[in-house]
Amino acid sequence: MPEASARPRDAALGSGLGRVLILVYGVFALSASARALVQITTHFSEAPLAYLLSAFAGLVYISATVGLAVGGVRGRLIALVSCTIELLGVLTIGILSVADAGDFPDDTVWSRFGSGYGYVPLVLPFIGLWWIWRHRPRN
Amino acid sequence: MNGPLSVVTIVAALVLAAWYLLRSALNRAPSRVDLLLAAAFSVLIAVFTVVAVVSLFGDSRPSDTATFVGYLITTFAFIPVALYLARLEPTRWGSLILGVACLVIPVLVLRLQQIAEVTGA
């Protein structure tokens, strides 16, 4: 990788554990987006809210992946915002879907705290935020 | 789709995942044997994929064919991609990449089974 010298020190791409983190985030970005794409293109009218939410979750995972991978001031900001939205999303949708299943006739990544995905969506934002916190700039 | 091949694939994935996670915990980079094991596992998954593709042309075709094929492509490509990334990362984290990838495979196989159960016939 020729651009390695220009990479910010906190870029997750620059360390082994960070690469694993990006792999997991990338898998979620891909699966959430692909799922939303299939849902929206084939049977959008059945549960528009749930499918739009899936698409939104997919975009958030993509931006979190990119933010963590790139690092630097901008990357950190993108990752921080994305991981925070993720955390709020999985908690809000988790609580709503447990309390009242009627609003969410079809599953999203965040339904029931991500139980359909082995609760990884619930754990992932914490790991992402921990990564950002651990690599905070030292003054 | 629900035959012994699926079971073999899932068990192999879990055993390999445990092995790679152990290697990572012991601070070992993927050895040549580890990489060869992953390559052999890719071959097993390739066989699994071929069997699944053949089932697409049988009478019990899953009604959600697009999703099925999507998952199938992901399953087929997953370990080779992880293998490539693990070779780029010759540290304990390379072992962790292989371990995580092996943990994803059972999920993909189970999803494929779920989708295959709903047939259009």
Question: CA B94 from chain center: how many Å?
Answer: 17
**Cα–Cα distance between A118 and B106 in angstroms, integer?**
12
Taking an 8 Å cut-off on Cβ atoms, the answer to whether A118 and B67 are in contact is: no
Q: Could you tell me the residue ranges of all domains in chain B?
A: 4-117
- ipTM for the predicted complex comes to 0.73
The answer to whether A101 contacts chain B (CB < 8 Å) is no
Our CA-based measurement puts residue B114 at a distance from the nearest CA of chain A, in whole angstroms, of 13
∠ at Cα B84 (B45, B78), nearest 5°? 35
Per-residue pLDDT of chain B (121 residues; tens, 9 = 90+): 668 899 999 999 999 999 999 999 999 999 999 999 999 999 999 999 999 888 888 777 787 888 888 889 989 999 999 999 899 888 999 999 999 999 999 989 998 888 888 765 4
Our CA-based measurement puts residue B112 at a distance from the nearest CA of chain A, in whole angstroms, of 14
- Within 10 angstroms of residue A1's Cβ, the number of other Cβ atoms is 8
pLDDT of residue B15: 96
Taking an 8 Å cut-off on Cβ atoms, the answer to whether A24 and B91 are in contact is: no
For residue A16, give the nearest of B82, B89, B101 by CB distance. B89
**Length in residues, chain A:** 139
∠ at Cα B84 (A34, A128), nearest 5°? 55
Tell me the chain A residues in contact with residue B85 when contact means C-beta distances shorter than 8 Å. 19, 23
The answer to whether A42 contacts chain B (CB < 8 Å) is yes
**Cα–Cα distance between B118 and B121 in angstroms, integer?**
9
pLDDT tens column, A14-70: 788 888 888 888 888 888 888 888 888 887 787 788 888 888 989 999 999 999 888
